[in-house]
Structure 1
């Protein structure tokens, strides 16, 4: 096990009805005015907006609305929201929605405290020296953003999907009520399952130093996701399954399974970010296409771990059988496994490859993911 520092200051409030207390949490942090960020008007139709606004008003907290944040959040909206936050002199950001809203909120929170353009923080031109306090009510379990400091945003002009992260961008309080997630569509449930699995396997397969404990934790997370996804597809009202699914999503990317792990990278996310940036595909759907293709290319570099994955996750013997079992499971639940299912053809490969090569430099793995390697992986996913 490698040396590590584990730091996670986020307070998670998990369970039914917890959203009713958002006003109390904000008041405890001395907040009087917030920018309330959300996606569609669904939160108004399903009553969540009314619950939140009531909780805020009872504590004398004003809010300014910032709706319309889209899946695969975009830089233009972040810039717009930064201007709104400044002009309205809000004191904190409140995210009500899924990972896209929360990622945007983190970028907004950091951007308000930076004098230049917020994209500078994504491209390494400047570092995050501070951020507004961030609070959230989660309505979709997938990204783990509720308990980490990361945020991913797409620059529409450059077609680059990059990330930021800082000690300043952890949420102060995250409210996770699985009951709020029961209206998530079938498609986004299975895309979320793929996203959680991708978060879990990046270090598991690529790390040079991987503690046994963390391998077991990863396997437990993935097995939980597989079991609960199948339960929820059959019974969307099953609260306990949704709760375990949601907590597995949080555990997959709150830093725990990477503490003591060293020498790892995020190749599946690196490749998928290009698919989202260029073709606006749902992140989880892109990952379910990339993962089997990448695994087929990579498994010979870490055969023992891939065999372990095959055995402890799918109960089969070889690496190849384990990869085939994962791909078969993705097919079973209905998340894509081929680029063609995303509307991406062989004619799209040249610009996709160029975009991935740019990401490889940003991720610091350009020496491994050369043009030939990226071409091989993407062609196998057609």
Structure 2
């Protein structure tokens, strides 16, 4: 009898503790919520280091709490994906693989459609423990930027979360070198590697000092712009704010004309790139042709956490190959549609032999003309 009473008291205590945790999460102010998000994103490639996140994640079961989400169908799809199998932890995640994109979009939907902040945090803690690190970071950052109860939360820079996409491999290697040497380096080596010590004994690595013998072409002088960490951070969070895959049910389509905004941002980046080329005496941007080799290559100097180098594009790169000829034809088809719309002033859409004529306004004509300029002038960087 005594044992039964102790078990009951233990269960009551556990339930009470869980209730306290829920109440604590409910009462978090914006600063505390931001701190919690920071903890979720801290050292994502390592096991979670915060006890509260681990306990919340282990004690939460998404399948048993489907009713805590406004759209239960997305949760069921997510659970079905888990049963089939998702990208394992430790693997490289990219949105350019269709299956991985579908999986991470489903993860975002589960986070986004959580009814309250408590459910959102519990779901995030569970994902932090069991799902792929890259997918978790991507889904969480997009969800934080889109949820109303996360307004005001400032996310950390992506180069602090996952520096391998932003910091050159040789710079990271120098940091490892300093760590192994415990900061004890020969002065000559410091000059060679661009390492100096500040007045507060902080070691600083200058990424602008590197072996300039290892270059593909003279466009390498623009690395200060194309590889600028802050510019790439801006571009990353612009994508997070306006993902190409996001449906209008999340966006207020009457408030955001996001496709025009996307085009505008690309125009601005391209214009600045053009300016930097002219400032360095590199001349105009060469027009992109699908059927001619890209004369100048591109080398990002990036190595991922698993030691695999991001692929480079060699000089005289051939675009059209046997394995992508259908994609090239698709791109050419889109270009032709835009050209025809500019010339005719309307778009023809054939549906079951019925032709629908959409008369274009002057603004939309200018938009299509800009699209055409963008498609023909943009450099192929991948």
Higher gyration radius (CA): 2
Q: After TM superposition, is the score higher than 0.5?
A: no
- Structure with greater contact order relative to length (CA < 8 Å, sep ≥ 6): 1
Structure with bigger strand share is 1
Query: What TM-score, normalized by structure 2, do the two folds share?
Result: 0.32
TM-score by length of 1: 0.32
